[in-house]
Structure 1
Amino acid sequence: MCAAVCGLSSWTEPVTLNLELQKNFFKHAVNSFYNERICMSDTFAAVHVGSYELTMKIFEISRKNGLKCLDHIRHRIDLGSETYATGTISSRHMLELTRVLKEFSEIMKSYGVTNVQAYGTSALRETHNINIICAQLEQRTGIKVDILSNSEQRFLDYKSIALQSTKFTELIEEPTAIIDIGGGSIQVSLFDKDKLVTTQNMKLGVLRLRQTLEHLAEGKDRYPELIAELVDSQLHVLSKFYLNDRTYKNLVIIDDYMSPVFQKISSPGYDKGFIISSDFDKMLERFSRMSNDYIAKELSISTEYVTLAYISGILVKRITVALMSQLLWAPGVTLCDGIAYEYAEKKKYITPIHDFEADIIACGMSIAKRYGGSKSRARTLESIALPIFDKTKKLHGLGHRERLLLELSTILHDCGKYISLMNMGFCCYNIIMSTEIIGLSHRERSIVANVVRFNHENFLYFDDSPDCYKGLTRKDYLTIAKLTAILRVANALDRTHNHKFKDVSVTVKDDEVQILLDTTSDITIEKGLINNRASFFEEIFGVKPVIRQKRLF
């Protein structure tokens, strides 16, 4: 095996090495292979089937040079206006999609692309027969298009900003809002001290607004007034429930409409893409008096983008007023950048400069706070549930991502009590399923919702086909069962909410999971209740959880 790894020919005679030499030799062989691997590079293609255009970026990705964009191809195709109105894609657009994706495939071959990831967003997401559409595209072009949920899409957009690592890190230390403007909706994410405070989605996308304005048949001079009426009511709700009279000094803009304009201008004394709010207001005022052709010529952009850019600009203006922002920054990144960043991160080509999983947890904590969740109780459950998860890996076979879902479940374990103490499990489920958690797919959110629900209610089995498992696989169901079993045991050990334990340690021995509690308190209730929860844990894992007390009172 070592010979194969090192590229050596087979030995012609037996060689005897002592154990230490064998270890060193194998270690050297593996290190040599690893060092050779990380010096390699990937040619990666990121494809985005968006609301208004089809985009492909080709990157050379290596550990030494990070991400280097080799090519950026854009093709205008207005899918959003059609799908938002009808829920379908016409045959004409399907033929155009197929043709362009085939051309993208040929371009990939010319660059020697080794890996490709294609995603569709809201325009495809809102299509009724999306599975049929994606199957046809893959059959005709060889490119598999996966559909991103809104929270996954925004998370990738958010990751794309991390490519501008220094500026990104500096900005989010202060109160900063990231505004992700799409064709169908906008996402407002609020940060402070490098932490995500909240994120909200509103159906105020540029294409939707354009459709409404065209229906009203009013001139360009009335756009600011009409858009203000359309969006200010929703922004007022955002301000009332989430801003708490705070101002967000910095505004980061991600979009395909206004960002190209920002890349051509800046306020005096600022880098490209940065503009202070007063200068931005003056620019919009100038645009309102110019023809689209003149603006297109002055900024060297396509005439067809001018109206969308202007609508996006007015939308940014309304958000700037609501958040009282002073500095605007459009880094000029796209979803394709986020797709490439995530690929490079998974393949260990780059080291993350920001803990994105911490933002997922922060989002969960924000939801729990909104619904009166107990922060101290969540911490106690986490301190019990996560050690059980870690020490029983050989029993459950779950990974790091499932551990994150368990942590979220401990945070959101009692959010339903805000609505009803009698039906807490059902209310928890509905709150979680109705609330966006940035960075989680719909499937993952469903797993968390079911785990929290079954912590309070009788477990429902997959073969009984309950509605709560709709869209989930048998593997997802087993994940729910395993995480529920762990959370139930953790919940039983803090049933009185008195936080009796200083420390919890877990060991697996024979047919038992021994949970050692460091406490001087009376744990009669916990010992009694664990038996009720132990039966389900034993059913799922085949071992019985047993409490041991380290200190006697």
Structure 2
Amino acid sequence: MSAAENAVRPAAEAERGPAKVVGVIDIGANAMRMVIAQVRPDGAIEELERTQRAVRLGHDTFTHGRLSQRAMNAALGVLRDCKKLLATYQAEGVRAVATSAVREAANADAFVDRVAMAADLDLEVLDPAEESRLTVSAVRQAVQGVLDLGQAHALIAEVGGGSTLLTVLDRGAITASASYALGSIRLQEHLATTQEPQARAVALLRQQVSNVVEAIKRALPLGKVNTFVAAGEEARFAAQHIGQAAAPTGRVWTVEAKPFDRLVADCARLSPERLSKKHGLPLQSTERLVPAFLIYHALLHATPVERMLVCGVSMRDGLLLDLARRVTGADDPELAEGVIQSARTIGEKYRYDAPHAEHVAALAVRLFDELQGEHGLSPRHRLLLRVAATLHEIGGFVSNRSHHKHSYYLIANSEVFGLRREEVLVAAHVARYHRRAAPKPTHLEYLALPREDRIAVNKLAALLRVADALDRGHARQVRDFHIERPPGELVLYVRGVADLTVERRALEEKGDLFEDTYGLRLRLEEDAAPAPDARRASPME
């Protein structure tokens, strides 16, 4: 780059604003890790510092079901140090998260409260779906230029201390995502292998891993996988010893199956102490090595793939990407499609009427866009409305009677890839109120929502009720409309439909929530203008 170009670049960046420092803290089963990075105005991320401290929260959770006071105090001490370091860098955005060791602890809420009081951090306990989303986001970016996920049937696996996250992508679309209680620390605590001779310990680990992988093979289409992507510290260890660099960044490697077989066998013969001495690693790392290797090895051989692609990224990199997008205002291009695909998978599980669901979803988001000035909700709420509309009738799988209540239960107890737990609950409530009674003070689950979420549920459910009324007969005849706003009213003029009697009656039954929420009387009218062709008329366009 010329001197002139060097001079122009800082000036251009100064116009867009200075770089911002962000930090992520990951509280895992065996260690607490922090990454501090600088986000430039163009979204580029420059890592400034990484720290890691051993805190064995998983030992208590996986053996006793709760976090001990000693472990919590140790964690709080580390978090105070993290907070001081973040202050030194003047970090403007911080996201602190915890995974399975905290998520599964009976006293998780007490720990979250103590973190807020002692370290002034808002600790977020991630659900498995959000963990998977963050990992997949980091992997997608890492493999750019190396692997076209849009042409692959890929399995992305990340083995952690408490669980293994698996995500299946078919030509770039997420078709399945699941978390299994198969972590490197959990296995050892569950089987008490640390007191066993090495050969006996490995035999116990192999058997348990084999049992879980057999269940995974029944749940996920591993036989169709043609690309195996591994993320996680132990996978990186393997890649650095026997892998071949697949990208100039030094963060992507290919590892052939046969050399990996030999590496697993060699490491399995050595105790954690001997592995530590041989490879110069801390004992806390070598304790996890063999269990994690056995999990990756079993998963790899459960597919027809002969090599694995190892990405030197983790969920923390996904967290950094999220913070960077938040700083720059950019969107994750694959997130929305991943969320919707996950919702469709749930719908298929409960035998939903896909054409009706997709049509209602399209009408609902069209109404959302038309009424942006009235509701003032975010693009994220638009996505939640689309999920709720896609799944609003899945309760019919249980019973057609009160199916809206069954829809709420099924959605609220599902994992939707890319949505946090509180977002799933919002979508569940929106689906629950697509028919019959509007929210009432006697609806305890609704009252338990934060006030902002209750307001969002009312606004979104009102739109969903209108959209569902427009497809009352599941005939999908209402394809295009335009809106006019005379004083105190909202009039939907529908093109190409000669008789709207059924839809008008449905709207009379379901329009009360809209009128109460938006303060507008809703009216449906036939539009005499010629209907455009079906493709242009689709509300999906």
- Which TM bucket (shorter chain)? 0.7 to 0.9
CA drift at 1:229: 3.7
Could you tell me which of 330, 347, 351 is aligned with 1:368?
347
| 1:139 paired residue among 117, 135, 159 | 117
Query: Which residue, out of 501, 508, 521, partners 1:544?
Result: 521
Q: CA deviation at 1:342?
A: 0.5
Structure-2 separation of matches of 1:56 and 1:269:
26
Report the CA distance shift for 1:349/1:548 in structure 2 as closer, same or farther (over 3 A). closer
Separation in 1, partners of 2:29, 2:482: 51
- 1:327 to 2:311 alignment: no
Give how far 1:392 is off: 1.6
Match in the other structure for 1:160: 138
Give the letter for the 2:283 counterpart. T
Between 507-516 and 524-533, report the one with greater CA deviation. Answer: 507-516
Match for 1:492: what amino acid?
A
Distance in 1 of aligned mates of 2:272 and 2:211 = 29
1:259 and 2:238 are equivalent in the alignment:
no
Find the counterpart in structure 2 of residue 398 from structure 1. 377
Residue 423 of structure 2 aligns with which residue?
444
**Displacement of 1:427:** 2.1
Q: Which secondary structure does the structure 1 equivalent of 2:176 belong to?
A: strand
- The residue aligned with 1:5 is none
Look up the SS of the partner of 1:60 in the other structure: strand
Q: Partners of 2:477 and 2:207 in 1: how far apart? A: 54
> In 1, are the aligned partners of 2:21 and 2:36 still within 8 Å (CA)?
yes
The match for 2:84 is 106
Separation in 1 of the partners of 2:183 and 2:444? 31
Counterpart amino acid of residue 423 in structure 2: E
Contact 2:42 2:328 (C-alpha < 8 Å) held by counterparts:
no
1:163–1:341 CA contact under 8 A, matched in 2: no
Query: What is the SS of the residue equivalent to 2:430?
Result: helix
CA distance in 1, matches of 2:146, 2:414: 26
Correspondence 1:54-73 to 2 at 5 A: 54-64=32-42, 66-73=44-51
SS in 1 for 2:433: helix
Q: Does 1:338 align with 2:322?
A: no
Answer yes or no: is 1:287 the counterpart of 2:263: no
How many angstroms does 1:86 deviate by? 2.8
- Inter-CA distance 109–389: structure 2 relative to 1 (3 Å threshold): closer
Whether 1:525 and 2:505 are equivalent positions in the alignment is no
Aligned equivalents of 1:316 and 1:416: distance in 2?
Answer: 37
Give the aligned CA root-mean-square deviation in angstroms.
Answer: 2.7
Q: Is the 8 A contact 1:489 1:530 kept in 2?
A: yes
Where does residue 207 of structure 1 map in the other structure? 185
Residue 453 of structure 1 aligns with which residue? Answer: 432
2:24 alignment partner AA: A
Native 8 Å contact 1:149 1:441 kept in 2: yes
Deviation at 1:246, TM superposition (A): 4.1
Which residue, out of 244, 257, 271, partners 1:277?
A: 257
Report if the CA contact (8 A) 1:391-1:507 is conserved: no
Q: 1:520 to 1:530 in 2, by over 3 A?
A: same
Which residue number in structure 2 is paired with residue 511 of structure 1? 488
Distance 1:497 1:552 in 2: 24
Q: Residue 72 of structure 1: SS of its match in structure 2? A: strand
Q: Extract unaligned runs of 5+ from structure 1.
A: 1-32
Q: Is the 8 A contact 2:26 2:98 kept in 1?
A: yes
Mapped to 2, the partners of 1:529 and 1:216 lie a distance apart of 65
Quote the residue 2:462 is aligned against: 485
Moved more, 373-382 or 107-116: 107-116
Q: Check 1:337–1:492 CA distance in 2 against 1; reply closer, same or farther (3 A cut).
A: same
Q: 1:374 to 1:148 in 2, by over 3 A?
A: same
- Distance (Å, rounded) in 1 between the aligned partners of 2:307 and 2:498: 55
Question: How many angstroms does 1:365 deviate by?
Answer: 1.1
Which letter maps to 2:451?
R
Matches of 1:393 and 1:423, distance apart in 2? 31
User: Does 2:392 match 1:416?
Assistant: no
1:116 is matched by which residue type in structure 2?
Answer: V
Q: Give the SS at the match of 1:118.
A: strand
Q: Deviations over 1:7-64 (max 9, x none)?
A: xxxxxxxxxxxxxxxxxxxxxxxxxx99635241112221112111011111121035
2: CA distance, partners of 1:381 / 1:351 = 25
Tell me, which stretches of 5 or more residues in structure 2 are unaligned?
1-10, 531-541
> In the TM superposition, what whole-angstrom CA distance separates every residue of 1:256-280 from its partner, at most 9, and x where no partner exists?
4x13413422445756532022222
Aligned length: 517
1:473 aligns with 2:450: yes
Residue aligned with 1:70, SS? strand
Inter-partner Cα distance in structure 2 for 1:200 and 1:79: 23
Contact 2:182 2:212 in 1 (8 A): no
Instruction: Note closer, same or farther for the CA distance 1:284–1:215 as it changes in structure 2 (3 Å cut).
Output: closer
Go from structure 1 to structure 2 and tell me whether the alpha carbon gap of 1:349 and 1:474 turns closer, same or farther (over 3 Å shift): closer
CA distance in 2 between partners of 1:148 and 1:490 (Å): 33
Indicate the SS of the match to 1:264: helix
Provide the secondary structure at the position in 1 that maps to 2:437.
Answer: coil
Percent pairwise identity: 20
Moved over 6 A (4+): none
Secondary structure of residue in 1 paired with 2:97: strand
One of 396, 410, 433 as aligned partner of 2:412:
433
Aligned mates of 2:240, 2:223 — CA distance in 1: 31
Measured after TM superposition, the shift of residue 471 of structure 1 is 4.5
Query: Distance between the aligned counterparts of 1:103 and 1:326, measured in 2?
Result: 44
Cα distance, 1:404 vs. partner? 0.5
Structure-2 separation of matches of 1:483 and 1:313: 46
Once the two structures are TM-superposed, the CA of residue 349 in structure 1 deviates from its matched residue by: 7.3
The equivalent position to 2:158 in structure 1, one of 172, 177, 180, is 180
Work out the CA distance in 1 between the residues paired with 2:388 and 2:379.
Answer: 14
Q: Does 1:495 align with 2:472?
A: yes
Q: Secondary structure at the match of 1:184?
A: coil
Letter aligned with residue 152 of structure 2 = E
- How far does the alpha carbon of each residue in 1:150-178 deviate from its partner, in whole angstroms, 9 at most, with x for none? 32232222222244151576245301111
Which one-letter code corresponds to 1:496 in the other structure? G
Question: SS of 2:434's equivalent?
Answer: helix
